A = this chain, B = another copy of it.
Amino acid sequence: MQRYFVEEDLLSEGQSVTLEGEIFHHVSRVMRMQSGQEIYLVGGNQVAYVAEINRIDDKMLQARLLRRVEENKELPVTTTLFVCLPKGDKFDLIAQKTTELGVDYIVPVASRYAITKWTSQKAGKKISRLQKICQQAAEQSHRTVIPQVLDLMTVDQVAKSLQAYDGLLIAFEETAKAGQHGQLKESLKAVQAGQHLAFFFGPEGGIHPDEVACLIQAGSHVKLCSLGPRILRAETAPLYALTALSYELEL
């Protein structure tokens, strides 16, 4: 069943919800749905209902909530990914796939070895695009939360923000090369439901030692970790980390 996120809170059976703009266009023009057909709505309060379309006008449609759907599609922890700008369109893939894998916040990071640079003008467009990708992937993967793509940060700014998290795991190739593969599992096994866990991923060229030092100084909750013995591309590493989290906590 087609799934849409709406801003208003969904509270009770019988509630009437008005759909306009992009959702209206998608339901009526792309899917060519008719009155009487059912869609799946997720409210701003992250509650999901099956709803029946009961009126379609030129620019809006109305749907009536039929029955609440109890489901648990979200990771038991909140997750933030700090992602140093990768090359080309790799960030699109990261946004789509990590949304499928349960991420909550994605923070683009400007780092020293990154070839890709965002001007402040470019950043706005890029972030809008990534946000759109997250929304579509959230609909497709049946999530009840749309991940948020936050503003571009520097590594210094990331370091200063780290008190907000229960843990930060930095994917670090040197840790992998040294054959020290145990930290990720150790950290994920210690995570408790309701905590907020963050991950940091470098760009293709890796993370500069000064940047690593800057992050590590933020506290003992910051750890370097390996993602296994093979060298993963910049866009594969975030997928690995979130899958590991899902495997540890959800399966």
A94 within 8 Å of B (CB atoms): no
Provide the residues of chain B in CB contact with A184, threshold 8 Å: 247, 251
Output the nearest chain B residue to A181 by Cβ-Cβ distance: B251
A 203-251 contacts with B by CB, 8 A: 226, 228-233, 236, 239-240, 243-244, 246-248, 250-251
Q: Which residues of chain B come closer than 8 Å to A251, judged between CB atoms?
A: 181-182, 184-185, 226, 228, 244
- Does chain B have a CB within 8 A of A100? yes
Report the Cα distance A240→B240, complex, angstroms: 8
For the side of the interface on A, what is the size category?
Answer: 20 to 34
How many copies make up the complex?
2
Task: Decide if A101 is an interface residue (CB 8 Å cutoff).
Answer: yes
In the complex, the answer to whether B73 meets A233 with C-beta atoms within 8 Å is no
B181 contacts A236, C-beta separation under 8 Å = no
Q: Which residues of A approach B to under 8 Å, CB–CB?
A: 71-73, 93, 97, 100-102, 140-143, 181-182, 184-185, 226, 228-233, 236, 239-240, 243-244, 246-248, 250-251
